[in-house]
Amino acid sequence: MTAIYVRSVTSHLRAVALGVLALAILFIFGMAIYRSIDMSILDQLPDNLLSMIGIGPKADVASLAYNAIFSTYGALLIGGIAIVIGASEVAGRERDGTIGLLLANPISRGRLVIESAMALFTLFIVAGIALLGVGLLTPQFLDVSITGLSIGGFVTQLIIGTVFYGFLALAVSAWTGKSQIAIGISSSVLLISFLAAGLLPLISGLEEYARLSPWYYINAGDPLRNGLDLGAIVVLGSASVFCVLLAWVGINRRDLRSRSGNIQILGRLRWNPFATQLMGRITGRTMVSRIWIKTIYQFQVLSLLVSIFMFGLMGLVMGPIYADMGTTMAQLADSYPPEIIAFFGGGDFGTAEGFFQIEIFGLVAPIAIMIVTIAIGAKAIAGEEKDKTLALLLANPISRSYVLTQKLIAMLIWGLVVAFATFAGVALANLISDLGMNYFNLLATCVHLLLLGYLFGGVAVFLGAAIGRVGLAIGVSAGAALVINVVNGIAEINNGWWEKFTPFYWYSGTDPLINGFNVTGIFILSVATAITIGSSYPLLNRRDLRG
């Protein structure tokens, strides 16, 4: 192992450490809260339903904390970090223009991939050890029994699973040289496999297909109770090795890029001579007429991918799935005690509204819209600083505030597109599968969703404008969203008084899918967004720009 390995480990260590820290806090907090709740209500639930919400059968305080926080939030978070690292290892170096100098040394491309993979593996082994420590020590301090639970096997399976997603991103990054594509494809696989592993076992006739989802193997064989599942490790391990081999082949067969930009779907068309003529007539020089329009173009791939994902996969696929399971769900729902309904985020599982609340609006839709608003918000100013384009931009007679406002317009527009795609997808599902949901309430939910996206996008804008560091702005705002969401979830079960202080309560706590618009919620989310964004202006104007 050489300098590449060491450099990769050290440069990503902070991101991994922050992820582990966030997860540790959640876990400690979660276990402390779960301890104070009467868990006997969970015994009344059928096993497959518990599996679906990521708790697993025969829930007790400890396994609820491990499964809900480590296996669900943790795997999504750590998997997401692994994807970002995997994508940045090859393509990120091409984007930054550093790969040329690196490979000017007597190092083969293959070795670059192998050392990158080893670095990623090392980082997550370290993360695993840290999580194991947290997982073993927390119950000691909180006096929660973990007798009969195999924390080691559970964490190992979790880590091997997340490393797979990192290697997948590495492979895509090595084949395409585009980190945006690598992140886009791998995180789509992550989300789809997460949903598939949860939903497919519930659909009769499709149960076995869950095994096609990599996520399935993170919990296959219930490692928390039965210890490490060797079969799952073999599957995940082979898939990971296969991805590294793919990466090795990929990087060796193509031309490397130097300081490449983002991919531009519309841009592609512009390089085609026929399209150029046509586009020129239609759009003229629209793309470069205003900063906000340029920013719209800049984030088209990410935003369109997320919008298509929300419209197609979420909206269109979820409808038939619910229609298929509806009867079973309704029967199950009749037996729920009210506490359980609260646990599901206030949604009633037996209704289409409840199902969509839990499956789409609970976690996936907020993640989707925040990916877009946080990315645009964090990069608004800090991205231009990072790319060293801000000095030239501000050589023009425009103020810093003007640039920020223009970027905000792009964030508002793309957020709106994602929210509308979600609305359109679910509305279409409602229509096709005749689910009987109220369109006005669906609209209300999507407006609440949009405002939630704007709020956390605003936090990213604030951090990016105040500190000028993209990574920190994205990490802190996404981390804050995650922590607040979990706090909100716990508050809902526990009827915690603090519930009304979390934005997630004002997003979904009033059940807009059932009750429609909540004026207070809309007011609070809007004011919070306005304050966050408004206060980023003076901070931006006061500080030194990074160059």
Partner 1 sequence: MEPALITRGLGKNYGHLAALVDMTLTVEKGVIFGFLGPNGAGKTTAIRVLMDEIRASSGGASILGLDTHKDSVALRHKIGYLPSEFTLYPNMTGADLIHFFANLRGGVDTDYVKVLVERFDVQMTKKIGDLSSGNQQKIGIIQAFMNKPEFLILDEPSGGLDPLMQRELQGLMRETADSGGTVFLSSHTLSEVQRVSDRVGIIRQGKLIALESIGSLRAKGIRKIEIELAREPDVSVFSGVPGIRSLLIERNRVFISHEGKVQTLLAAVMSKCELRDISTNEADLEEVFLTYYHEESA
**Which residues make up the interface to partner 1 (CB under 8 A)?**
259-262, 264, 267, 271, 285, 287-291, 294, 297-298, 387-399, 542-545, 547
Length of the chain: 547
The residue written with tokens 């119950």 in the block is 139
Nearer to partner 1, 291 or 473 (CB): 291
Instruction: Count Cβ atoms below 10 Å from residue 24 Cβ, excluding itself.
Output: 19
* Residue 150 beta carbon to partner 1: minimum distance, rounded to whole angstroms: 50
Please count the other Cβ atoms lying within 10 Å of the Cβ belonging to residue 239: 17
Task: Report, in Å, the least distance between residue 387 CB and partner 1.
Answer: 5
Q: Which is nearer to partner 1, 263 or 484 (CB)?
A: 263
Nearer to partner 1, 263 or 413 (CB): 263
Nearest distance, CB of residue 250 and partner 1, angstroms: 21
Our CB check for partner 1 shows the closer of 44 and 389 to be: 389
Contact between residue 181 and residue 265 where contact means Cβ atoms under 8 Å apart: no
CB of 389 to partner 1, least distance (A): 5
| Beta carbons within 8 Å of 405's beta carbon, 6+ residues apart | none
CB of 476 to partner 1, least distance (A): 23
Q: Tell me, what amino acid is at 150?
A: S
User: Using CA atoms, how far apart are residues 127 and 465, in angstroms rounded to an integer?
Assistant: 31
Distance separating alpha carbons of residues 252 and 212, to the nearest angstrom: 29
- Measured from the CB of residue 294, what is the shortest distance to partner 1 in angstroms? 7
Please, which residue, 262 or 441, has the CB nearer to partner 1?
262
Question: Which is nearer to partner 1, 238 or 276 (by Cβ)?
Answer: 276
In whole angstroms, how close is the CB of 396 to partner 1 at the nearest point?
A: 4
Closest approach, Cβ 297 to partner 1, in A, equals 8
Exposed/middle/buried for 527, CB within 10 Å: 0-12, 13-18, 19+? exposed
The set of residues, in sequence order, having a beta carbon less than 8 Å from that of 127 and lying 6+ positions away, is 16, 19, 20, 78, 159
DSSP labels, 432-463: HTT----HHHHHHHHHHHHHHHHHHHHHHHHH
CB of 472 to partner 1, least distance (A): 19
Nearest residue to 504 (alpha-carbon basis) of 321, 288, 357, 324: 357
Provide the minimum distance between the beta carbon of 261 and partner 1 in the complex, in angstroms, as a whole number: 3
To partner 1, the closest distance from the beta carbon of 178 in angstroms equals 12
Residues 434 and 311: their CA atoms lie apart, in Å, by: 17
Neighbours of 339 (CB within 10 A): 15
Q: Smallest gap, in angstroms, from Cβ of residue 96 to partner 1?
A: 10
- Cβ proximity to partner 1: between 262 and 438 the closer is 262
Please, are residues 78 and 23 in contact by the beta-carbon 8 Å criterion? yes
Q: What's the CA gap between 465 and 534, in Å, rounded?
A: 11
Residue 285 Cβ vs partner 1, minimum distance, rounded to whole Å: 5
In order of 130, 155, 291, 299, the CA distances from 411 in angstroms are 36, 37, 12, 9
Nearer to partner 1, 192 or 287 (CB): 287
Q: Which is nearer to partner 1, 222 or 385 (CB)?
A: 385
Q: Please, which residue, 271 or 497, has the CB nearer to partner 1?
A: 271
Query: Which residue, 271 or 274, has its beta carbon nearer to partner 1?
Result: 271
Q: E-assigned strands of 388-545?
A: none
Q: Residue 333 phi/psi, 5° resolution?
A: -60, -35
Neighbours of 458 (CB within 10 A): 25
> Min. distance of Cβ 461 from partner 1 in angstroms?
20
- Alpha helix stretches (DSSP H) within 36-92: 40-43, 47-52, 61-65, 75-87
Give the residue from 378, 465, 376, 390 showing the smallest Cα distance to 418: 376
**Collapsing DSSP states into helix, strand and coil, what is residue 328?**
helix
Is the Cβ of residue 357 or residue 536 nearer to partner 1 in the bound state? 536
Which is nearer to partner 1, 148 or 280 (by Cβ)? 280
* 100 or 337: CB nearest partner 1: 100
d(CA 511, CA 347): 7
Distance CA 505, CA 527 (A): 15
Dihedral sign of CA atoms 225, 226, 232, 237 in order: positive
